[in-house]
Homo-oligomer: A and B are copies of this chain.
Amino acid sequence: MTATIRDVAQRAGVSVATASRVLTGSRKVSPILAERVNEAAAALDYRHNAVARALRRGHTNTVGMIVPEIGNPFFPAIVEAVERRLQGTGRDLFLCDAQQDVAIERHRVHALIARQVDGLIIVPVSATASRAALADIPGSVPVVQVDRFVEEFAADWVGVDDELGIGLAVEHVASRGAHTIAFVSAALESSSALQRHEGFERAIARLGLPSDFPRLLGTYRAEWGRAAAIELLHSGALPDAVVCGNDEIAVGVLGEFRRRQVHVPDRVLVTGFDDIRFAALADPPLTTVRQPHEQLAAECIRLLDARLADPQTPVQRTAIAPTLVIRESTGGAS
């Protein structure tokens, strides 16, 4: 069995209290005893039991994070940024994947909460169906939502202004001469899908563009982009531009157009959203709305710490204005 603090104390000839004080540095202990304790701990290869410590202390120096789907490259990027921010604050990040399923998501919330994480960072799967999961979180645990949020739920949030972002994309393709614009995105389940869709409708209306071109809503994945591209091709007149709800979809659209010799950007313009690693490597390189990971992560941790410091802080929602990255898929920087 692994050594306990009792073993260390015994070997050092001190009380467990003293051993604890040395091992955690919680109080001054005479150098002689400290030395003895440290030696004993080393000799026994002592490791503190974080479970016991957590039970006693009531907190864990741990933050939990739940993402809807770790396979969507946008989320690992966010996770990495959050990790970097947490680095140096002495807290560990435990990550969970909800596999796009609100039941699993809820289960993960419970698992993390039950393990006494000091805070929870969550990208909710659904704008409505994830409410139950979040509602299960006791008020004593700080929660911050990132990227997506649950409607009518009072919890901090940080994300990009999705509506604005899509607006940027629409205005950009319009400025490049696109008159008819299709929208390919995910079903209106997550808040991001909802907001991006809303942003598209508004931009179209604002610019007075014809509104009878397709809105194809499926999933945030490349396969859906492929399928949607095929649908567009079969539906008669190709639009001048296809604005996509994220980069994965856009890459799928690009792939299918390429396969069918529909030239981008000459024949049709394509835009994405997120600026994932592969956006710049797509063929043609993808014009997209960039999400500033580091900024999102920084704000996320700031919100978390603010709530940790004062649980009564009023709910804050931070929408960061995204920027458009112009690449070849819309004709390149001009």
Q: 13 more A-B contacts (CB under 8 A) besides A70-B79, A95-B97, A252-B281?
A: A49-B114, A49-B116, A51-B115, A62-B115, A69-B80, A70-B70, A71-B76, A71-B77, A73-B76, A79-B97, A80-B97, A83-B97, A92-B108
Task: Specify how many copies of this chain sit in the oligomer.
Answer: 2
Q: Tell me the bound Cα distance from A70 to B70 in angstroms.
A: 9
Q: List chain B residues, Cβ under 8 A from A222.
A: 277-278, 281
Given A80-B70, A108-B92, A281-B222: A116 touches B51 (CB 8 Å cut-off): yes
Q: Is the CB of B47 within 8 A of A114?
A: yes
Sample of 16 A–B contacts (CB below 8 Å): A2-B138, A49-B114, A51-B115, A70-B80, A71-B73, A73-B76, A80-B97, A84-B99, A87-B104, A92-B96, A93-B97, A95-B96, A222-B277, A222-B278, A254-B281, A283-B283
Q: List chain B residues, Cβ under 8 A from A69.
A: 80
For A113, give its contact among B47, B113, B282 (CB under 8 Å): B47
Q: Tell me the bound Cα distance from A17 to B222 in angstroms.
A: 53
For A283, give its contact among B49, B83, B99, B258 (CB under 8 Å): B258
Interface residues in A, total, Cβ within 8 A: 53
Q: List chain B residues, Cβ under 8 A from A55.
A: 49, 51-52, 55
